[in-house]
Amino acid sequence: AEYMGTRNVAGMMRIRGDINVCLMGDPGVAKSQLLKYIAKVSPRGIYTTGKGSSGVGLTAAVLRDPLTNEISLEGGALVLADMGVCAIDEFDKMHEEDRTAIHEVMEQQTVSIAKAGIITTLNARTSILAAANPIYGRYNKRLTPAENINLPAALLSRFDLVFLLLDSPDFDRDHMLATHICYVHRTQTAPPLDFEPYDARFLREFVAQARRFDPVVPPAVTDY
């Protein structure tokens, strides 16, 4: 979601290049940890939860100064994450009226305000990374993805990518996961690895370099 950016084509048409991603999966598959790390690695990343966020808190709020009695506009999480990533956890727990406030951000990448005599448009060129649980708590493979995902069609269509993170029963993998969790809680350190992971600084530089490229699909492979 961090690789592309909004750009103008021939100075006339504005194309949304930021990708909106939804992680839909069972509880306990580390969706929240993944969102927190991406918000930490991103040069401009904001992490919030759907249950603790309102539509005004995500877009913008009109405030009145108690001393001067003047009205001011304060940007929300999506406005503050301009040119960055906004990670929203527990996306399915949001109220419906709060979710409709981000429709404009996901498509036009702007926040239009008309409150208390203030009429303006704020930029919100951000990639939204949302994590949610299925409608019945766990993913039911007997149902279609549309029946498992408890999101309106108008909102679901605004996500460019939807990933399903399923917790399939596997004794060996569950044993490794339990051993890892017990080791971390017992020693307060990460277990030793047989490889050297990339640090956050390298990932930031890699993404910054990748954003400079303008990918083009050759005509020879358009049919595929």
- Strand 7-9 relative to strand 13-15: parallel, antiparallel, unpaired? antiparallel
Percent pLDDT > 90 in the chain is 6
177: number of CA atoms within 13 Å, CB side?
A: 10
The yes-or-no verdict on residue 76 having pLDDT over 70 is yes
pLDDT tens column, 127-172: 899 998 888 778 888 888 778 887 888 888 889 898 988 888 889 9
| Coil/strand/helix, residue 178 | helix
Task: Tell me what pLDDT residue 11 has.
Answer: 59
Report the pLDDT value the prediction gives residue 21, as an integer from 0 to 100: 92
Q: How far out from the chain centre does Cα 65 lie?
A: 32
Give percent above pLDDT 70 in the chain. 94
pLDDT, position 172: 92
CA-CA distance, 23 to 43, in Å (whole number)?
A: 21
| Residue pointed to by tokens 């490229």 | 213
Confidence band (pLDDT; 50, 70, 90) for 112?
A: confident
Helix axes 31-41, 200-210, angle to 10 degrees: 70
Residue 182 has pLDDT above 90, yes or no: yes
Assigned token pair, 196: 């050297």
- Write down the pLDDT at residue 54: 78
Residue 55, pLDDT > 70, answer yes
